[in-house]
Structure 1
Amino acid sequence: MSEDEADKEQILVIHEGALTDVVRMLAPAKMIRDHHRKARITLLCGEEYEGLLKHCPYFNAVETNLDDTAKRNFFDRLKAARNSGFDVIYDLCGSEGAKKIGRAVRFSKTRWVSAAPRSDRPGHPLEQMAAQLGEAGLGPTRYLLGEAPPPDLSWIDFVAKRSRTLEPAYFGLLGRYALFAPAGEDVLPAQRWPKERWASLAHELLEAGVEPVIVGGPNTREVGRYVAHVTPGARDLTGRANLIQLAGLGRKASCAFGEAAGLLHLMAAAGSPAVLFHPGENAPLESAPRGLSPTLLMHAPTLAQINAKEAVQAMRCAGGFADASNAA
Structure 2
Amino acid sequence: MANSEQILIIKLSALGDFVLSLGACQAIRKHHRDARITLLTTKPYQPLAKASGLFDEILLDSRPRIWQLPSLVALRAQLRSGRFDRVYDLQRSDRSGFYFRLIGQPKPEWVGKVAGCSHRYLQPGDQVLHISTREAQQLALAGITDIAPADLTFANEDVTGFAVPDGYVLLVPGGAPHRPAKRWPMERYAELAAWIVTRGYTPVLLGTAAEQESLELISAVCPSALNLCGRTSLLQIATLAKSAALTVGNDTGPMHLIAPAGCPLVSLFSHESDPAKVSPRGAEVTILRRPTLEDLTLTEVTDACEPLLPLRR
TM range (shorter): 0.7 to 0.9
Task: Return 117-126 or 213-222, whichever deviates more.
Answer: 117-126
Structure 1 match to 2:270 = 279
Other structure's SS at 1:326 match: coil
Query: Cα deviation per residue 1:80-137 (whole Å; 9 max; x = unaligned)?
Result: 6554322211111023332222124573152111178969662001100111101110
Q: Using the alignment, how far apart are the partners of 2:273 and 2:18 within structure 1?
A: 25
- Structure 1: runs of 5 or more not aligned: 141-147
TM-score, structure 2 as length reference = 0.85
Structure 2 match to 1:200 = 191
Structure 1 match to 2:136 = 130
Structure 1 match to 2:117 = none
Q: Using the alignment, how far apart are the partners of 1:244 and 1:281 within structure 2?
A: 27
8 A Cα contact 1:197 1:304, kept in partner: no
Q: Using the alignment, how far apart are the partners of 1:212 and 1:77 within structure 2?
A: 45
Q: Using the alignment, how far apart are the partners of 2:75 and 2:272 within structure 1?
A: 47
Q: Using the alignment, how far apart are the partners of 1:45 and 1:14 within structure 2?
A: 6
- Structure 2: runs of 5 or more not aligned: 114-120
Q: Using the alignment, how far apart are the partners of 2:257 and 2:196 within structure 1?
A: 21
Other structure's SS at 1:11 match: strand
Task: Return 19-28 or 59-68, whichever deviates more.
Answer: 59-68
Q: Using the alignment, how far apart are the partners of 2:89 and 2:211 within structure 1?
A: 32
8 A Cα contact 2:165 2:202, kept in partner: no
Other structure's SS at 2:304 match: helix
Matched, 1:84 2:82: yes
CA RMSD of aligned residues (A): 3.0
For 1:102, give the aligned amino acid: F
For 1:139, give the aligned amino acid: T
- Deviation of 1:254 (Å): 1.2
Structure 2 match to 1:145 = none
TM-score, structure 1 as length reference = 0.82
8 A Cα contact 1:204 1:309, kept in partner: no
For 2:19, give the aligned amino acid: V
8 A Cα contact 1:273 1:315, kept in partner: no
Q: Which residue, 235, 248, 251 being the options, matches 1:244?
A: 235
Other structure's SS at 2:149 match: coil
Structure 2 match to 1:6 = 2
What is the count of residue pairs matched by the alignment? 303
For 2:284, give the aligned amino acid: P
Structure 1 match to 2:36 = 40
Q: Using the alignment, how far apart are the partners of 2:142 and 2:69 within structure 1?
A: 28
Matched, 1:326 2:306: no
Q: Which residue, 232, 235, 250 being the options, matches 2:223?
A: 232
Structure 2 match to 1:143 = none
- Deviation of 1:79 (Å): 6.6
Structure 1 match to 2:110 = 112
8 A Cα contact 1:278 1:298, kept in partner: yes
Q: Using the alignment, how far apart are the partners of 2:59 and 2:77 within structure 1?
A: 19
